[in-house]
Amino acid sequence: MPILDIENVNVSAFDAMPTPEELHARVPISDNAARTVVQGRDAIRNILDRKDHRLFAVVGPCSIHDPVAGLDYAHRLKALADEVSDTLVLVMRVYFEKPRTTVGWKGYINDPFMDDSFRIDAGMEKARRFLHDVCEIGLPTGTEALDPNAPQYYGDLISWTAIGARTTESQTHREMSSGLSTPVGFKNGTNGDLTVAINAILSASKPHAFLGLTNEGRVAIVRTKGNPYGHVVLRGGDGRPNYDTVSVSLAEQAMIKAKLPANLVVDCSHANSYKKPEMQPLVMADVVNQIRLGNKSLVGVMIESNLEAGNQSIPADLSQLKYGCSVTDACVDWATTEKMIRDAAAHLREVLPKRMNG
């Protein structure tokens, strides 16, 4: 009787990937970049622990697709970060992986050449190089953790991690978060449910054991200590915002009931802005006003921002791509970003120190 073909029936190929160790050797972290990462992580931890009165803001493109435009953006953001450093800690949003409801471009790592060649090996190296370039100029980075093996390749260059609305309920991502070296923001579910984010924080705070990858590229049992710096990211849901005072108060009560610190970050985009980038400044202004009126739980914001406003479809001829314009979600432009950040700093400069001492 012939042996049945029962393994990998729907797999067409296994293409070799460099190990994390090999990629670290190709793009080693410099002392300056390492300092940026550590200082960024420490600043965010201190904000979450109420040892630092500042607000942190994760600001940047919906996704990175052009490293030249991305680094142009990073230099501008670094100058702005230095300008408002007494009030805000700016972290560049550097997203390489895009979860999809159905199909679409999955991001710079998955398809770096935007031609469906899916050169993940090249994309991972390009992503690590880009992160290093950003950290080298002194700007900490934040990203969304999607592939559970990816942190081994570039996690040493990340200061803050988000777990997206589609994956907050995933056991795999909760386990991974328990071992990440960064503070982790868990978004509420796409339907607006906050319970999944709170359960994720509780889960990730505990030790776990799961299958993972070593730096040498071997499959191993990863045993984690638990991550004490999980917090909630309010991003709206089911097409409705949840950054208003009532929603924030309900989120605070839910976290206190779960015996968690009431640390809330507001995502100014997604359902909170009805996916209309021009609404993001209004969300930001509302958050600032809540803090001015005495709120103590709002510790950060997220802004989807690029050099140019809006977004664009990926053309067949990539030379026709508009420089500095998103190919995923629509963003606010650089001028709007500057105004949002400067206005927030101006309105909060005298308020935030009193909030911590109050």
- CATH number, domain of 324, equals 3.20.20.70
Calculate the CA 225 to chain-centre distance: 22
Handedness of CA 203, 205, 209, 213 (dihedral sign): positive
Total domains in the fold of the chain: 1
What is the reported pLDDT for 358? Answer: 59
Burial class (CB in 10 A: 0-12, 13-18, 19+), 306: buried
Report pLDDT digits (tens) over 107-120. Answer: 999 999 999 999 99
343 located within any domain: yes
Closest by Cα among 167, 109, 159 to 134 = 159
**Residue 237, both tokens:** 């849901």
Per-residue H/E/C for 253-277: HHHHHCCCCCCEEEECCHHHHCCCH
Q: Are strands 230-234 and 184-187 parallel, antiparallel or unpaired?
A: parallel
303 located within any domain: yes
What is the reported pLDDT for 356? Answer: 79
Q: Give 330's DSSP letter.
A: -
Residues of the chain with pLDDT under 70: 1-3, 99-103, 358
155 located within any domain: yes
293 located within any domain: yes
330 located within any domain: yes
300 located within any domain: yes
Could you tell me the residue range of the domain that residue 293 belongs to?
20-160+264-357
33 located within any domain: yes
Residue 226 near residue 210, CB atoms below 8 Å: no
114 located within any domain: yes
Calculate the CA 102 to chain-centre distance: 21
